[in-house]
Each structure stands twice: as structure tokens, then as C-alpha cells.
Structure 1
Amino acid sequence: MAASAIQAWASPRGARPDITIGCRPSLRPAAEDPVRIFASRSAATPPSTVRSGTRMLARSVGQFPGYSMTAFRARLLSILAGLLLACPAWADADDDLFGAVLQGDAEAVRTTLEKGASPNALGRDDVSALMLAAERGHVDIMRMLLAAGADPAATRSGGITVLMHAAASGKAEAVKLLVDARVDVNARATRNGLSALRVAAATGSVDCARVLLAAGADADEVDASGARLLFTAAGNGSVEMIDLLLEHGGDVNHRREDGYTALDAALERQRWAAAERLLARGAKLEASATGKDAALLKLLELEPVISPDALSLVQVVDLPSPELFRAVMAQDARADYVDENGNNLLMLAAQRHHVTALKALLDAGLDANARNAAGETALALAAGRSEYELMVIGIGIALGQDREKLMKLIFRPAQPSSQSAATARRLEAARLLLAAKSNPDIEDESGDTALMEATRSGDAELVEMLVKAGANTNQRNKAGFTPLLLAAQYGFRDITRTLLEARADPGVKDAEGHTPLELARAAGHEETAALLEGATARM
């Protein structure tokens, strides 16, 4: 279906990498786009189905961060223009054959062939019935068409072969059927140099790749940029494909014309398992474009999937493993990076609640009590809202959300760690830093502490953890606020209870002379006010 093909291209990371390059994202002309290369299924799909799938995709594209809707519409229109034009003439005499192949109905294919349909019938862009069957992996129909005289060596516009379509299906049996028909396994597309083996590498079809390599496919082929198949496998994140290509003589440190390696491809695409395998198989940071200076920073780059409408963090992509960090650091990756705000790698990891990075960096000896230009420690940064939560807030502001609604979303209690991966990561980050002797009472330039940041985050579990670690519950910042005053103002009942149990002073007053009870009442936080009223009466 066209919608599924387009949806695969419109990934959360923006433009899908052109499989002829293998890893580095690039918007190529529609004529050279992989969506069109593998759009034979769309070429046999009625226009109404294409339009329906497109509307569904347009409604969902808003969940992808950083994706321009204007660019999306323009790109989609250029693709759809080609796809709709590529739809076959449904009034052709061979309509029934294409329809039967599309549905995978072998008996209907047999009937249409018996009625005189041509086994070499073509749709627009010279898409044959055999190509359609091959890409959909309908092996029984492929056999039927071949027996009826379909040409296994046929090509369509751009030099795309039947074998390339079969490789895209992921069905090794479909590829083997064509190999047995003695097609050229090393045929390359005229438009972009695509081969069947590169298609298999791009789609992670290891079984198809094995069949092609056994039949003599060139494991050392390069595209126009000088990228070998290993780049494609690494960008796709297929560890098994990486192993297969290396077993067939692939050079793990091969460099593209611009100095880019397969390791760069894996790191850029956040294919952490692939990067780990490449390093284990001999990839060298010094040979890569990323290099020793930026490798650890690269491992800290995580891209969240968010829902702007709900203003919530949906998930964060998988974290790199501790083994990957160890492998990178074993190659003397630079760990002394500091950004323009004085944040070192430990602070950046804490700000992102990147727990595997925190563990690796603490094990490497980074100081848990170091401070950035604003005086913040890694613990204080971990206790606050993550970069991803702040991103959600920023999206809400940009979308013009109702201010009152936005404030309620910002200052709401954090979900329990048992229900929220984001909360669980924040707790684990703080636990690691406290275990490394991070001082919870260090003040930043505003006088804020980790306990104050945890209170603002609404994280009752973290507040309890910090209190047990000895955090001062009555410390004031430069604005005159204590953790209890903050909790009362935000209406965080559970945090208020924890602080009161830890001997926080319910009679404390802010810079304007307001007590916690008065702040809670003024904000309409009745349950919190009731707690404070009882504590005040017991003074």
C-alpha cells in the first residue's frame, strides 16, 4: 500500500536515508527516491486507497518532533503525484491479472492466465505482474507467472529488476526462485546504482542476502558516494547483516569519499547495537568522521517521541548499553568535553536522565559534585525536568496552548515510577549520583538545591530519596523559598507530607510574609492546605 511505503519514509528522524547512500539522511529528487523505487505496490493500488492512506498519515505526522508540516506536505505531494500517475489503467485487458496478484489470489491468477492475460503485462512505469508478485513475496504466483512465460530478467524504469523487488519482500524463497532462473544477481539500477543485495541490506533481509551472496553477489560493491553495503546495514541497525557482510570480507573501517564510515552511520542513526557490534569487530574511532572527540557526546544524543497535543512524553528511544560506552572509552574517547554553559558530559547525561551514560562516566571518574556556569551539579540537573519534558512544554507554548491549561500540565505531580519510564529514569539517575557521594545541599547561583528542583518536578519519590540522603528540608534559595513553600504553592500533597515528616518548618514565611498554608489556600490546593493546617496546629 502507498500509505505504508510513505510512512516508512516519513520516520521520526525526518527524511529516510537514501538506501543507495545507506545512512546519511538526504532529501533526493522524487525520481530517485526509494519510496518510488519500491512503489510497485502503489502502482497497482487504486487511487482512492492511496488518498485514504495519505490522509491517515497526515493526521499522524504531528507526533514527529522537528518535522516541518510544510516540508511534509510538499514532499508528500511530489511523491503522490508520481504514485497516482503510476497507477495502472484499470480498464486494461489485464486488469484482472494485476488485481489477483495484488490480492495474492493464486487461483484467480491461474484463471486470468487461462483466459489469455499476458504473463508479461505491464502497468505504468513498466511494472510487471511478476515484479508485483515478487515484492509481495507471493512465491506460488511467481512460479505460475514464470511457467506461463513471464520474463525474470525484465526491468522497469530506472533499471529496477524483478530480483530487486524480490529482495525487498524479505522472502528468501522468492529471491532463490529468480536466482535459479539465472538472472543477473549483480545488475545495478541505471538511475542510482541500486542492486538487489543493497536492497536486502537496507531492509535487513538477511536470508535474502545469504541467497544472493551464495549466488555470487558482489559483497564489495560501492555506490556513487563510495559507501559499501556495510554502511547500509549499519544505518539500518541490522547486527546480523553486519556480521554476514564482514564474514564475506567487508572492511569494517572502509571510508566513504567524505571520510564517513559504517560506525558513523550507526552512531548518527542511533543504532546502538550496530555500533557496539562494529566496535567489537574492529571498528576504530580514529578512522571515523565522528572521531574520539565527539564519540561520547554522540552517545548522549537521544531523540524522544512526543505527543504535542497531549503535551506528554510518550517514550525515549533505547539507551546505548554500558558495553557500548565501555567499548568507546576503551578507545580513548574524549571525556573532558564542556559545553558553552559549563556542562560536562556527566551534567548533560544527568539533564537527559541518561542512566547508562551516568554509570559509565561515574565509573570513569568524573566528579559528581562538579558545577556548571550556573553553579548546578549533575544531581540538581537530574532532579529537575529532563530536556525532553522541557521540549514538550516548549511545543505547547509554540502551539499557542491555553496558558492556564499549560500551567496545570507543567506544575502537576510526576507519575509514579511504576507507571512512568521518565520518572523511573530520573530516580535511577539520582540514585547513581547519590551513590557517587553527590552533595544534595549544594546551591546554584540562585540558591536552589537538588531538593528544590525535585520539588518543582513534582516527584514525590525523588523528594523522599533526597530527604533520606540527608538533604536540608529548610534551606532557602535567594528568592526566599524553601522546599515546603514550593510544594505548598504547587499543591503537591505527597511532597508536602514527606517534607513535614522530615521536620520541614510549616511556619516558615516567604519573602512577602506568606506561610505554606496561606500559599496553598490562595492557590486553591485544599488537600495540601489541610495537611499544612494540621501541621501548623501542632506547632
Structure 2
Amino acid sequence: MTSNRTRRRAPRIPLLAALLLGAGGTGAADLATELRLNAMVGDTETMAELLDRGAPVDAANAFGKTALMFAVEADELETVALLLTRGATVNARTVAGCTPLTFAAEGGHIGISALLIARGAHVHDRTRAGWDALMIAARHGILEMVEQLLFRGADPKAADRDGRTALMQAAERGHVALVAPLLGAGAELESRDRDGATALLIAADRGQLAMARALLEAGAEVNARDALGATALILAASQGHHELARLLLEQGANPNLQDSDGTTALMEAISTDHNALIDLLIDYRANPALEDAQGRTAADRARQLDNREAIELLARGH
């Protein structure tokens, strides 16, 4: 990213700090506040003066956020370098478990993340939600940072508190370019989150067509089921993702698999009023005579919901 330094000279803001504090004191707490404020705007000259006057380099605000974290978040590389040189803790944590490296990942600040790692940042550290820098970078689709973190030993098999890996984060957002490097580093295609979903199931639910294609080309199991027995095809049908459903069927998805309630993709399409999928599913031999756990067929569901279009499509002799 382009540094703000190319656009303006950061203002000196001791006066702002004094106004915020209500008094222009020179105690350690006041100096720490000024240090954090100047870190946000990258005023390294003032920060050096504050540190020389005794400002505690690692003093944090009420949320545990240090001057180094503010500088990272603002993409102020020179300021980050100054603070690290003056002894800032590279692996400090906020009350939410965020570290300078996770802040760098959140913002996509690749130069800063490289510097932090070179100074000893732990690539495996997690936030309170269980996210490490790799998961965050994958969620935001930052390819260069993902590659950087993998090269530095980040674990592509690690999962957050919901059981979601970096590959699953990428699948949800459709970041296709991340599939190859993550799999190349050892990410597992069939890893399951807390709901039993694989990356392909997540992509299907979100309608991420290109991602689903990439995962299938990599060997993802097309008929994998989540904890409730739903397949990628059932999830795609529930959301009306027509082209994605076609892709799954072309790749061997079984249209007659039933979830734990006995629901098929055809029943799901009818129940969610995605009637455009009916002909497609029947063309791929979806069986309208199958019954769900309550003994209802696809036609029964259509009548129950007064889905007249579905009733007519089912009655056309398929």
C-alpha cells in the first residue's frame, strides 16, 4: 500500500494530547497517551522526543492497544521500525488477543508484516476468536501476505473457534487465488468446521461458483455432507444458485441424497421457491417420488406451500 507519508507531513500533536487529557501534564501516563496519538499519524520525530523523555514504549490504552499496534494499523512503516528499535514488544496483545501481526493482516500491510516477522512476531498467535494472521489474510484475500505467512511457517491446518481454516475463510469470500498456495502448503480439502461443513459446502452455500469449481478441480468430495446431512447441492438449491448447482451435477453430485430430515435438493428448491432449479434437477435424474422424514414427496411439499409453478413443472411428465 502507498504510505500516507507520500501525501503529507504528519502533524505534531502534543497539544491535541493535552486537550484530550484535560491538562498538559508530563507524567508517564500523559507521555504514553501522546506517544499513541503520534503513532496514529506517523510523527516519528515527536515520538522519538517522547521516548527520550521517558514515554513507556509499551504502555497500552484501556483495550490493551499499544503505540506499535496503532502504527501498524495506520500502515506507518517508519514508525513501526522506530518503536521496534526502541524496544516495543512485537508480540504484545490487546484484551481481545490481537497482536501487531494480526493488525497487519487485517489491513493488508505486507511490508509491515514482513518487518514484524523479521523481528520475531509469532505467526501462530491467535486472537480471542481463534484467528491467526493467516486466517485473517485469507478472509480478506491478500494473496501476497498469505504466501508470506506460509513461507514463514504459518499453519494452514489451524482452525478458529468455529473450526474454520484459512481455506474455509477463503472459500466463503470466493478468493480463488488462495486455493493453490494453501493446498500446496498442506491445507486439507475435507477439513470440517463446527457444523461439519467443508470448504466446498461453504462455497456452495455462499454461491461462490468459481471457488466451488477450483475446489472440485483440486479433488473436493462433491457429495460431502455437513452435520445435518446436507450436501453442497442441497445448500446450493436452498439459495437458488442455479449455475453452481449445474456445476455440482456435472461433477457427479447425487441429486437424490437426503439430509437428516429426508430433504432432497429437489424438495429444498421447491420449499425455498427456487423453481428454476426443478427442470435442471429432474434432467439429472432427481427422483420426485422420494419421501422426506414426514412422508412427503416433492409434489406434497409443493401443494402444502401452494407453489403452483412447482406443481405444474412436476406434473409435466418428468
Aligned counterparts of 2:86 and 2:153: Cα–Cα separation in 1: 17
How far apart, in 2, do the equivalents of 1:369 and 1:195 lie? 48
SS at match of 2:30: coil
Contact kept? 1:219, 1:250, Cα under 8 Å = no
Q: Which residue of 1 aligns with 2:62?
A: none
Tell whether 2:186 aligns with 1:365.
yes
Q: Supply the distance in 2 between the matched residues of 1:474 and 1:524 (Cα, whole angstroms).
A: 23
The aligned residue for residue 72 of structure 2 is 234
1:101 is aligned to none
CA distance in 1, matches of 2:70, 2:160: 32
Give the SS at the match of 1:466.
helix
Identify if the C-alpha distance between structure 1 residues 428 and 223 changes in structure 2 by more than 3 Å, giving closer, same or farther.
farther
Amino acid aligned to 2:282: L
1:332 matches 2:153? yes
The one-letter code matched in structure 1 to 2:112 is L
Give the superposition deviation at 1:452.
1.2
Q: d(CA) in 1 for partners of 2:166 and 2:90?
A: 34
Contact 1:299–1:320 (8 Å) recurs in 2: no
Matches of 1:502 and 1:432, distance apart in 2:
22
Pick aligned residue for 1:521 from 297, 303, 307: 303
CA distance in 2, matches of 1:457, 1:252: 52
Q: Does 2:244 align with 1:465?
A: no
Is the Cα–Cα contact under 8 Å of residues 272 and 321 in structure 1 kept in the other structure?
Answer: no
Matched with 1:394 is: none
How far off is 1:193 after superposition?
A: 0.8
Match of 2:56 among 207, 224, 228: 224
- Deviation at 1:509? 3.4
Name the SS of the counterpart of 2:243 in structure 1. Answer: helix
| Partners of 1:159 and 1:191 within 8 A in 2 | no
Cα pair 1:474 1:482 within 8 Å, conserved = yes
- CA, structure 1 residues 250+37, in 2 after alignment: closer, same or farther (shift >3 Å)? closer
Q: 1:267 touches 1:298 (CA, 8 Å); kept in 2? A: yes
- The answer to whether the aligner puts 1:479 opposite 2:258 as a matched pair is no
Kindly tell me: are residues 230 and 223 of structure 1, through their superposed partners in 2, closer, same or farther at Cα, counting changes over 3 Å? same
Aligned to 2:229: 447
Q: Which amino acid aligns with 1:159?
A: G
1: CA distance, partners of 2:141 / 2:257: 37
TM-score of the two chains, using structure 1 as the length reference:
0.45
Show CA shifts across 1:220-244 (max 9, x none).
5674352585443113x32xx2146
Following superposition of structure 1 onto structure 2, how do residues 32-71 of structure 1 map, counting pairs within 5 Å?
none
Query: Residue in 2 aligned with 1:353?
Result: 173
Q: Is the 8 A contact 2:289 2:298 kept in 1?
A: yes
Q: Evaluate the alpha carbon distance shift between residue 519 and residue 492 of structure 1 in structure 2; reply closer, same or farther with a 3 A threshold.
A: same
The 1:538/1:299 distance shift into structure 2, 3 A limit, reads: same
1:323 equivalent among 131, 144, 153: 144
1:323 deviation in Å?
0.9
1:145-160 to 2 correspondences below 5 Å? 157-159=22-24
The gaps in structure 2 that reach 5 residues or longer are 1-14, 60-65
- Alignment length (residue pairs): 290
Q: Indicate which of 467, 478, 503 corresponds to 2:285.
A: 503
Q: Could you say which residue in structure 2 is the equivalent of 1:537?
A: 316
**1:193 touches 1:224 (CA, 8 Å); kept in 2?**
yes
- Contact 1:379-1:430 within 8 A present in 2 as well: yes
Q: For 2:132, which of 275, 297, 305 is the aligned residue?
A: 297
Q: CA deviation at 1:512?
A: 3.7
Does structure 2 conserve the Cα–Cα contact (< 8 Å) formed by 1:441 and 1:449?
yes
In the TM superposition, residue 440 of structure 1 has moved relative to its aligned partner by 0.9
* Residue 506 to residue 266, structure 1, CA distance change in 2 (3 Å): same
Deviations 1:283-324 (A, max 9, x none): 227833x5435497344359xxxxxxxxxxxxxx98151111
Query: 1:494 and 2:279 equivalent?
Result: no
Match of 2:3 in 1: none
Letter in 2 for 1:537: R
SS in 2 for 1:524: coil
Evaluate the alpha carbon distance shift between residue 245 and residue 218 of structure 1 in structure 2; reply closer, same or farther with a 3 A threshold. Answer: farther
- Per-residue deviation at 1:435? 2.3
Quote the offset at 1:508 in angstroms: 3.5
Where does residue 383 of structure 1 map in the other structure? Answer: 204
Q: Secondary structure at the match of 2:187?
A: coil
Cα distance in 1 between the residues matched to 2:161 and 2:80: 41
Q: Quick check: which has more Rg, 1 or 2?
A: 1
CA distance in 2 between counterparts of 1:338 and 1:229 reads 29
- The unaligned stretches of length 5 or more in structure 1 are 1-33, 40-155, 161-187, 303-316, 386-422
SS of structure 2 residue aligned to 1:476 = coil
Match of 1:472, SS?
A: coil
* Alignment of structure 1 residues 56-455 onto 2, 5 Å: 157-159=22-24, 192-193=30-31, 199-202=37-40, 204=41, 209=43, 213=45, 218=49, 223-224=55-56, 226=58, 230-235=68-73, 237-238=74-75, 241-243=76-78, 246=81, 251=84, 254-256=87-89, 259=92, 264-268=99-103, 271-274=106-109, 276-280=110-114, 282-284=115-117, 287-288=120-121, 290-292=122-124, 294=126, 297-301=132-136, 319-338=140-159, 343=163, 345-346=165-166, 348-349=168-169, 352-353=172-173, 355=175, 358-371=179-192, 376-384=197-205, 423=207, 426-444=208-226, 446-455=228-237
Conserved? CA contact 1:225–1:257, under 8 Å: no
Q: Specify the SS of the correspondent of 1:193.
A: helix
Give 1:437 shift. 1.2
- For 1:453 and 1:515, how far apart are their aligned partners in 2? 19
Q: Indicate the larger mover: 319-328 or 471-480.
A: 471-480
Distance 1:217 1:257, change over 3 A: closer
- Residue equivalent to 1:176: none
1:205-225 deviation per Cα after TM superposition (whole angstroms, max 9, x unaligned): x5xx3xx73x99538567435
Judged with a 3 Å threshold, the aligned counterparts in structure 2 of structure 1 residues 273 and 336 are, in CA distance, closer, same or farther, namely: closer
CA offsets, 1:172-221, max 9 Å, x none? xxxxxxxxxxxxxxxx677521587753431x3x5xx3xx73x9953856
Identity of aligned residues (%): 22
Cα displacement string for residues 451-495 of structure 1 (whole angstroms, at most 9, x for unaligned residues)? 112222333332223223221222233432211011112211223
